Amino acid sequence: MQLIIISGKGGTGKTTVAASFAYLEDKSIKVDCDVEASNLHLVLKGDDIERHDFFGAKTAKIDPEKCQKCGECEKACRFNAISDFQVDELKCEGCGACTVVCPYQAVSLDDDLTGETLISKTGKGYLSRAEMVIGAEGSGKLVTEVRKIAGQYKKNNEPFILDGSPGVGCAVMASVTGCDAALIVVEPTQSGLEDFLRLLSLIRFFGVLPFVCINKYDLNFDVTCQIERVCREEKVPVMGYIPFDSTVQRAINELKPVVCYPKSKAGRQIIMIWNRLNERIKEEIKK
C-alpha cells in the first residue's frame, strides 16, 4: 500500500502529518518526495547509509575542433540556446535537436548532475530522499528515482508513506502516480480551497483514492464549512480536523513528530486520523 500525504502548496502542515504517520507506522518505508526542500529526515533522524549522484538532465556541448560553423544547429534550436557556435547552458533544454542536424558530429549531449539520492536508516525504518542541486531542473525525474530506490528496500509487504511535493507540477505527478491513496492536507483559507480543488482533479486523474484532513480548522470556521461542503459534493471523505496547537511549533523546534506529544490537541487528532484512515483504506481496497 502506498499512501501519499500531499497539499496544494508548502507550509500547510503536510510534513507535520507525514512525519507523524511515518513515526506511527514503524514498518513503513518512508519516501520524501519533496526533493526541492526535503525535511522529513530532520524529524525522523537517522544515518545516511547510501548516497548516489543523480544525473537528471542533459546539456549540449559543441566541440570547436570539429565545428565547421555552418549554423545548422542554431537554426534547429527552438530554445535560442545557441549563438556564435556556443551553447548557453542556462537556456539549453537538452532536447538533442542540434546533435541530429549537425553534419559534422560536432555536438554531444553531456549528463548534468541535478541532485543526490540518499537512504537514511532511522529508528522507524528506511527513508528515501534526495537533495536537488540549487537551480537544477527535472525534479519529477528525481522524485521517480527516489521512489524507485525506496522500492528496493521492500522486503515483505511494508507500506510506503510518501511526503509529497507541494503544488500540482511535474514533481507532484511523479509523486502521486502509482499511489493507492492520498491524504490531502488543506488549510481553511480561500487559496487553500482552490489549491485543494486543483490537486483533487490531479489525484483523480491518476486514479488515486483521495481523502482530506483540515489543518488548523478552528482558525476559520466559515472556510472549514466550505471545504466540508465541497468534500461532500465531491464525495471525498474528511478523515479529521487538526486544531491550531502551539505544540506543533514546539515539536518543529525540537525536531520531533507532533505525535511524540500524544496528549497535545494536534497529536491526539493526528493519531485518530491515522487510525481512521487505515480502516478506510483497508475497506476501500477490499471492495
**Interface residues with ligand SF4 (CB under 6 A)?**
60, 62, 67-73, 76-77, 79, 81-82, 85, 87, 92-98, 101-102, 104, 106-107
85 vs 206, beta carbon nearer ligand SF4: 85
CB of 61 to ligand SF4, least distance (A): 9
Residue keyed to cell 537554426: 75
95 vs 272, beta carbon nearer ligand SF4: 95
Which backbone phi and psi does 114 adopt, to 5 degrees? -115, -10
Give dist(CA 151, CA 157) in Å, integer.
11
Buried b or exposed e, range 25-62, using 16+ CB within 10 angstroms: beebbbbbbbbbebbbbebbebeeeeeeebebbbbbbb
CB of 91 to ligand SF4, least distance (A): 7
Give dist(CA 218, CA 226) in Å, integer.
13
62 vs 168, beta carbon nearer ligand SF4: 62
34 vs 74, beta carbon nearer ligand SF4: 74
H-run or E-run covering 62:
strand 47-62
CB of 41 to ligand SF4, least distance (A): 34
88 vs 116, beta carbon nearer ligand SF4: 88
CB of 59 to ligand SF4, least distance (A): 7
101 vs 170, beta carbon nearer ligand SF4: 101
**119, 149 Cβ separation under 8 angstroms:** yes
110 vs 180, beta carbon nearer ligand SF4: 110
Neighbours of 170 (CB within 10 A): 15
* Grid cell of 143 as nine digits: 522524485
CB of 109 to ligand SF4, least distance (A): 6
102 vs 281, beta carbon nearer ligand SF4: 102
CB of 74 to ligand SF4, least distance (A): 7
Q: Tell me, what amino acid is at 63?
A: D
Among 18, 56, 58, 55, CA closest to 34? 18
* Grid cell of 40 as nine digits: 522529513
CB of 53 to ligand SF4, least distance (A): 21
Give dist(CA 164, CA 140) in Å, integer.
11
Which backbone phi and psi does 96 adopt, to 5 degrees? 90, 0
CB of 108 to ligand SF4, least distance (A): 10
**153, 52 Cβ separation under 8 angstroms:** no
**125, 47 Cβ separation under 8 angstroms:** no
